[in-house]
Amino acid sequence: MWRTSYSKESTLDDDSAIHHTILAYDPNRMLVFRTIKSPKNFPFKTAILRTWTVVYFEPLESHAQR
């Protein structure tokens, strides 16, 4: 589980916390997760629970390579 919040006054277990389940991870290449708990006031609670996200990582050009 990956827990976060966008509020510095929040804890990772209160009503404003966001919890994700990591579904897949390929180090330095890809991360797949889905949200299992959204903040209390999030307007799309049903939709977010049916959504999963895939993030692909690509190396950035260093300043020396430009």
Could you report the per-residue pLDDT of 2-52, keeping only the tens digit for each?
A: 999 988 899 999 999 999 999 999 999 999 999 999 999 999 999 999 999
pLDDT for position 3: 96
pTM of the model: 0.76
Q: Is the per-residue pLDDT at 63 higher than 80? A: no
Residue 60 pLDDT class (50, 70, 90 cuts)? confident
Q: Is the per-residue pLDDT at 64 higher than 90? A: no
Q: Please enumerate in sequence order all residues whose Cβ is within 8 A of that of 18, keeping only pairs 6 or more positions apart, or say none.
A: 3, 4, 5, 6, 35, 37, 38, 39
